[in-house]
């Protein structure tokens, strides 16, 4: 004879596991709330305001005065007039990213595997420029690359400087961008290499691979998350930078879109809509490029 047990299985509302799961989700949402509010206030709202300004129209005959409108011709006019600056910004950003990678990888490799007790010193040397103003560092480069400086004099004596000067050329702007954003490339690559298991790299030698093959097949793939992070951290700010072009470049041939935006906002009456349209276009172009870059290389192990 069997005895019926009192009550059935616990309902979802009273199941302790379900209640604990809901409590964990509420805590997670509460932890996310400050970050979400920060993004809404300091990113979403300004972007919406920027987009709104980019569509407004000028009052006829009253430069500097606007009314709300949906005027997409601002984008057409801005791109028709300033497309060379837009392409130049992307080109300079790509060149600076490439040269930063070429310089950063050997340095990060040496810090991770060869530096030994000097690793901390080298790491401090990489971080040290952050203790100085971005603008002061760029002005220092203007002195280093000056016409009567050591660099220009040596290159001129070797007949490697046809124009006789480095400043006010694209070389100076790209050099300044590369230098200023070099730590953003070094640190992620170093973090990836420093976390790599040396036994895996040694296994390449055990399998009779030479140094180059081991590097190409083992070390470089293991450091790709750092390379991806460094590329994004370098290319995005370098493309939107205007300080290096302002201090190291010329008045026309090296101006980037950041200089045009700064000029339209602060110096050209009635230039708000053009500056906003260029800003929004640059942001959209970089987001599209980053999207395809991330789709190509993935973000699963992004440091």
Window from 7-11, 200-204, 243-247 with minimum mean pLDDT: 7-11
**Are 68 and 56 within 8 A, CB to CB?**
yes
Global pTM value: 0.81
Q: Per-residue pLDDT averaged across 12-18, rounded? A: 69
SS (H, E, C) the chain: CCCCCCCCCCCCCCCHHHHHHHHHHHHHHHHHHHHHHHHHHHHHHHHHHHHHHHCCEEECCEEEEEECCCCCHHHHHHHHHHHHHHHHHHHHHHHHHHHHHHHHHHHHHHHHHHCHHHHHHHHHHHHHHHHCCHHHHHHHHHHHCCCCCHHHHHHHHCCCCCCCCCCCCHHHHHHHHHHHHHHHHHHHHHHHHHHCCHHHHHHHHHCCCCHHHHHHHHHHHHHHHHHHHHHHHHHHHHHHCCHHHHHHCCCCCCCCHHHHHHHHHHCCCCCHHHHHHHHHHHHHHHHHHHHHHHHHHCCCCCC
Q: What is the pLDDT of residue 178?
A: 95
Q: What is the pLDDT of residue 2?
A: 44
Q: What is the pLDDT of residues 222-261, one digit of tens each?
A: 888 899 899 999 999 999 998 999 999 887 788 999 999 9
CA-based nearest residue to 138, from 98, 175, 93, 187: 175
pLDDT band at 14 (very low <50, low <70, confident <90, very high): low
CA-based nearest residue to 301, from 226, 225, 228: 225
Of the two residues 47 and 203, the one the predictor is more confident about is 47
Q: Per-residue pLDDT averaged across 184-202, rounded? A: 89
Q: What is the pLDDT of residue 4?
A: 45
Q: What is the pLDDT of residues 87-134, one digit of tens each?
A: 999 999 999 999 999 999 999 999 998 888 888 999 999 998 888 888
Of 12-26, 57-71, 72-86, highest mean pLDDT: 72-86
d(CA 159, CA 167): 17
pLDDT band at 208 (very low <50, low <70, confident <90, very high): confident
- Which residue matches tokens 């569509």? 55
d(CA 151, CA 174): 16
d(CA 109, CA 115): 9
CB neighbours (10 Å) of residue 184? 21
Half-sphere exposure of 32 (CA within 13 A, CB side): 7
Q: Per-residue pLDDT averaged across 127-149, rounded? A: 88
Of the two residues 104 and 299, the one the predictor is more confident about is 104
- Which residue matches tokens 């980019």? 54
Please say if the pLDDT value at position 16 is more than 50: yes
**Are 284 and 240 within 8 A, CB to CB?**
no
In the chain, the percentage of residues whose pLDDT exceeds 90 is: 40
Q: What is the pLDDT of residue 17?
A: 78
């Amino acid at each position: 004879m069997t005895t019926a047990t009192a009550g059935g299985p616990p309902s979802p509302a009273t199941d302790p596991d379900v209640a604990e799961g809901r409590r964990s989700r509420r805590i997670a949402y509460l932890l996310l709330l400050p970050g979400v509010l920060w993004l809404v206030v300091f990113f979403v709202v300004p972007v919406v305001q920027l987009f709104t300004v980019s569509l407004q129209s000028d009052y006829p005959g009253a430069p500097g005065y606007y009314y709300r409108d949906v005027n997409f011709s601002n984008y057409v006019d801005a791109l028709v007039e300033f497309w060379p600056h837009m392409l130049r910004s992307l080109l300079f950003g790509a060149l600076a990213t490439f040269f930063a990678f070429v310089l950063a990888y050997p340095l990060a490799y040496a810090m991770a595997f060869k530096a030994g007790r000097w690793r901390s010193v080298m790491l401090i040397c990489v971080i040290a420029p952050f203790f100085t103003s971005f603008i002061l560092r760029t002005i220092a480069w203007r002195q280093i690359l000056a016409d009567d400086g050591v660099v220009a004099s040596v290159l001129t004596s070797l007949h490697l400087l046809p124009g006789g000067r480095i400043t006010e050329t694209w070389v100076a702007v790209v050099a300044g961008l590369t230098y200023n954003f070099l730590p953003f490339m070094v640190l992620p690559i170093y973090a990836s290499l420093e976390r790599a298991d040396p036994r895996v790299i040694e296994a390449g030698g055990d399998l009779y691979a030479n140094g180059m093959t081991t590097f190409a097949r083992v070390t470089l793939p293991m450091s790709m998350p750092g390379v991806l992070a460094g590329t994004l951290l370098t290319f995005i700010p370098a493309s939107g930078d205007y300080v290096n072009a302002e201090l190291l470049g010329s008045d026309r041939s090296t101006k980037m879109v950041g200089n045009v935006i700064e000029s339209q906002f602060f110096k050209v009456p009635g230039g708000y809509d053009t500056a906003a349209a260029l800003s929004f276009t640059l942001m959209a172009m970089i987001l599209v490029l980053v999207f395809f870059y991330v789709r190509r290389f993935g973000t699963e192990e992004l440091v």
